């Protein structure tokens, strides 16, 4: 009798796990279909027109200060939407192994500055009086790395948003960047958090896990993880004493592994 009950419970658990797996697979198929639709729909042209018109109006001396502020909001929203579309297309190509990777020497200090500035500006627009803290203590020296500037910007911005959401009511993140001894650039994004093992695992899942943590809008850390792998880098998460930390390690120069990655990319 006891063995029958154990078997019944085990079957129930297996059935539930199978249902969860099927749900995740279905969601991933739907996401691929949505990304394919984005790829095949020319959304960039109307957004580019909005950006050009907004920039033209902002530079027009006949337009007053208050209208220019409103035009600026439209410009920023269109720019962010264009960035999300580009990011979705890039991710689809990376997943398929079709991305044409073209790394160069870049200033990770400047890229981090830009990402921090954009996140702060978006927070100000979305939250108004609520104060979120995004702290970045720039290093004394200019930190140079090897990669694609737009992908690195997307990675850093993605981790900032993840950190802000995971910090909960604290609503704060701290960014640090430095050279390591292994010819790597290490960027840390730390924030107050205490995640379970399952939640830590969900951070790097494609979407279902990210949604469960409330960070589906920004894609969780899956996007940054895939982009880091393309750079022959690594993204990890750790926590200690009520503080969580993303650690992004990127190559300082064009390594042999990266040249091989570039050759494979061009060869596709």
The string of pLDDT tens digits covering residues 88-142 is 788 888 888 888 899 999 999 999 998 998 888 888 777 665 677 899 988 888 8
- Considering the entire predicted model, what is its pTM? 0.71
CATH of the domain at 192: 3.30.565.10
Note whether 81 and 48 are same-domain residues.
yes
Summarize the confidence of residues 178-193 as an average pLDDT.
88
Cβ atoms 231, 125 nearer than 8 A: no
Note whether 122 and 57 are same-domain residues.
no
Closest CA relative to residue 151, chosen from 229, 206, 75 = 229
Question: Which tokens belong to 112?
Answer: 């981090």
Note whether 131 and 212 are same-domain residues.
yes
- Dihedral angle of Cα 59, 62, 67, 68, to the nearest 10 degrees: 20
Lowest mean per-residue pLDDT among 7-11, 39-43, 141-145: 7-11
Q: pLDDT at residue 184 above 50?
A: yes
Which of residues 62, 96, 130 is at a domain's end?
96
Number of domains in the chain: 2
Note whether 198 and 76 are same-domain residues.
no
Which of residues 96, 120, 140 is at a domain's end?
96
Q: Where are the alpha helices (DSSP H) in 41-64?
A: 44-58
In a domain, 216, yes or no: yes
Measured CA distances, 92 to 98, 203, 240 (Å): 8, 19, 34
Give the contacts of 18 (CB within 8 A, at least 6 positions apart): none
Note whether 226 and 121 are same-domain residues.
yes
Mean pLDDT, all residues of the chain: 77
The pLDDT-based confidence of 239 (bands split at 50, 70, 90) is very high
Note whether 57 and 125 are same-domain residues.
no
Which tops the pLDDT comparison, 105 or 259? 105
Note whether 178 and 200 are same-domain residues.
yes
Note whether 72 and 203 are same-domain residues.
no
Q: pLDDT at residue 80 above 50?
A: yes
Note whether 128 and 170 are same-domain residues.
yes
Note whether 86 and 217 are same-domain residues.
no
Cβ atoms 237, 255 nearer than 8 A: no
Q: Where are the beta strands (DSSP E) in the chain?
A: 104-107, 133-136, 144-147, 172-179, 184-192, 234-240, 243-251
Note whether 89 and 145 are same-domain residues.
no
Give the contacts of 79 (CB within 8 A, at least 6 positions apart): 51
Note whether 49 and 88 are same-domain residues.
yes
In a domain, 101, yes or no: no
112: domain range? 106-267
In a domain, 66, yes or no: yes
Cβ atoms 247, 240 nearer than 8 A: no
Q: Which residue has the tokens 């079957």?
A: 11
Residue 9 confidence (pLDDT): 46
Measured CA distances, 16 to 158, 213, 248, 253 (Å): 32, 20, 35, 47
Residue 238 confidence (pLDDT): 94
- What whole-number percentage of the chain has pLDDT above 70? 71
Cβ atoms 200, 237 nearer than 8 A: yes
């Amino acid at each position: 009798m006891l063995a029958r009950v154990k078997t019944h419970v085990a079957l129930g658990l297996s059935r539930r796990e199978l249902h969860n797996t099927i749900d995740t697979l279905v969601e991933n198929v739907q996401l691929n279909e949505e990304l394919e639709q984005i790829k095949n729909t020319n959304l960039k042209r109307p957004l580019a027109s909005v950006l050009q018109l907004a920039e033209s109006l902002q530079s027009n001396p006949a337009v007053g200060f208050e209208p220019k502020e409103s035009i600026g909001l439209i410009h920023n929203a269109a720019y962010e939407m264009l960035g999300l579309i580009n990011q979705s297309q890039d991710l689809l190509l990376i997943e398929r192994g079709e991305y044409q990777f073209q790394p160069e020497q870049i200033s990770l200090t400047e890229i981090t500055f830009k990402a921090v500035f954009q996140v702060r500006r978006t927070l100000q627009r979305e939250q108004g009086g609520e104060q979120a803290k995004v702290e970045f203590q720039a290093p004394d020296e200019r930190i140079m790395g090897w990669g694609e500037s737009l992908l690195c910007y997307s990675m850093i911005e993605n981790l900032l948003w993840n950190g802000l959401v995971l910090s909960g009511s604290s609503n704060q993140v701290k960014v640090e960047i430095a050279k390591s001894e292994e010819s790597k650039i290490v960027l840390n994004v730390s924030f107050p958090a205490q995640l379970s093992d399952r939640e830590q695992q969900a951070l790097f899942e494609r979407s279902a896990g990210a949604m469960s943590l409330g960070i589906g809008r920004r894609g969780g850390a899956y996007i940054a993880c895939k982009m880091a792998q393309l750079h022959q880098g690594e993204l990890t998460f750790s926590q200690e004493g009520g503080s969580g930390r993303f650690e992004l390690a990127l190559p300082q120069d064009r390594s042999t592994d990266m040249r091989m990655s570039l050759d494979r990319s061009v060869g596709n």
